[in-house]
Amino acid sequence: MTTSAPSTAATKALPGTLALLGGPPAVSLPDTTRWPLVTQDERSRVLSVLESGVLVSDRNQVTAVDELENRWAEYVGAAHSIGVCNGTVALQLALAALGVGPGDEVVVPALSFVATAMAVANQGARPVFADIDPHTFNITAEAVENVLTTRTTAVMPVHLHGLPAPMDEILDLSRRRGLRVVEDAAQAHGATIHGRSVGTLGELGAFSLQATKNLPTCGEGGLIVTSDDTLAHRIRRLRQFGETIEAGEPRRYVSHEIGWNAKLSAVQAAFTCAQLDRFNQRTQAQRHNVAAFLERLAPLVGLFVPTIDRPGVTHAWHILRFRLDPTVVGLDASEAASFREAVHRLLRAEGVPLTRYQLMPLADQPAFGSLAPTRAPQDFPHTRQVLEDSLVLQRRHLDPSAGPLLQQYADAFEKVWDRLDIARTLVRRSAR
């Protein structure tokens, strides 16, 4: 920001002065982070598809789609991986392959991206929402159990922000109650529970390759994983107009069931293959940078940083969510939203690009109004609380070179926390 006022010794703000009050912002580095990273590898992989002359994906030819499918199956430790056009369709095809449809209820978290519930609704089934745990932001088996009815046929746990949902408990409940399990792993590539990749713990797992996700493509894409041969066969058929493409055989143009055109393009797959070459290396750098960042924020009183709740779990750190406690500055717990707004203004002025991720429980989305007639302001109390009192950091920390920038974000948090009474003043002033 530039100012026309002359910068004299008398008016010059001290370095410790909050940027919102005219001081210099704590973040001085330009934000040069990028996501996805596009290197010579991505360029040459994509170019080689363009130059191969094979741009259709409905023939029995080995393409980058096959390569990506094979490599991802191996990476996560599943027998099969099927490339599709996006993560939402991946979820829907997974449900379709299980025979979930009209008359069925599918339990999804009250806090997630809208696609989780929309895939259920697109399949003609009814999404039923379960509240989250306020510390992990994931559903619990108990919350799922609370909303089960005789019509519930499946549960779709989301590994939100990259933290695995409590799959042991959810799988145990599913076995007891005869429920199918589709994991929404769109935000959690590489996250594991006891060394096993998310997406492979339930019957089917869906990943998104959308450009902002941890394993991105240069646009839209998705991958479904399963170790069930029959389900894999059915999904391949559903993605291709209900046709079966046999190895070494010409396409027959016989549709065995109503399917979709849900194929993944070879260009998108080639880009992701290049991303996969350096996925482990990038993930390690991200983990290192995020750990160093969170370590500095953890001591700040009234700031709750994301953590890993159980041993044996790795976090994909897709989104970093921070909760804020208004009572540390003497505000009432009911003033959480105003406090969050005040802290947001202070940190944004310092140069920290925090945002909000999801503004309401999924059940409140107008799109689901007719599907969730029982919703009420007192439903999903944890989800509502978390949405009121938290802010998120997205994307910046995914770039492996973000370490120094994250350290300046930490400087900004520390600076604001030194003068957190100002946040209280801002809340009181706006209340008047």
Ligand X SMILES: *Cc1c(COP(=O)(O)O)cnc(C)c1O
Q: Which residues of this chain interact with ligand X, rule CB under 6 A?
A: 86-88, 112-113, 115-116, 158, 184, 186-187, 208, 210, 220, 222
**Residue 186 vs 412, nearer CB to ligand X:** 186
Q: What is the DSSP letter of 237?
A: H
Q: How far is the CB of 302 from ligand X (least distance, A)?
A: 28
Q: How far is the CB of 85 from ligand X (least distance, A)?
A: 8
**Residue 98 vs 410, nearer CB to ligand X:** 98
For the chain, the straight-line distance linking the first and the last C-alpha, in angstroms and rounded, comes to 29
Q: How far is the CB of 113 from ligand X (least distance, A)?
A: 4
CA distances from 394 to 180, 292, 319 (A): 31, 17, 5
**What is the rounded distance in angstroms from the CA atom of residue 271 to the CA atom of residue 277?**
10
Which run of H or E residues covers position 409? Answer: helix 403-418
Q: How far is the CB of 76 from ligand X (least distance, A)?
A: 17
Cβ-proximal residue to ligand X, closest one: 87
Q: How far is the CB of 324 from ligand X (least distance, A)?
A: 23
Which amino acid, one-letter code, is at 31? Answer: D
CA angle (333, 137, 346) in 5-degree steps: 50
DSSP 113-127: -HHHHHHHHHTT-EE
**What is the rounded distance in angstroms from the CA atom of residue 41 to the CA atom of residue 39?**
5
**Residue 203 vs 335, nearer CB to ligand X:** 203
**Residue 88 vs 275, nearer CB to ligand X:** 88
**Residue 185 vs 372, nearer CB to ligand X:** 185
Q: How far is the CB of 226 from ligand X (least distance, A)?
A: 17
Q: What is the DSSP letter of 253?
A: -
Phi, psi of 132 (to 5 degrees): -100, 170
**What is the rounded distance in angstroms from the CA atom of residue 9 to the CA atom of residue 16?**
15
DSSP helix/strand/coil, 183: strand
H helical segments located in 178-278:
229-238, 266-277
Q: How far is the CB of 187 from ligand X (least distance, A)?
A: 5
- Residue reference for tokens 């947001």: 344
Q: How far is the CB of 360 from ligand X (least distance, A)?
A: 15
Which tokens go with 101? 């449809």
**Residue 182 vs 422, nearer CB to ligand X:** 182
Angle between helices 336-350 and 381-389 (to 10 degrees): 30
**What is the rounded distance in angstroms from the CA atom of residue 92 to the CA atom of residue 118?**
9
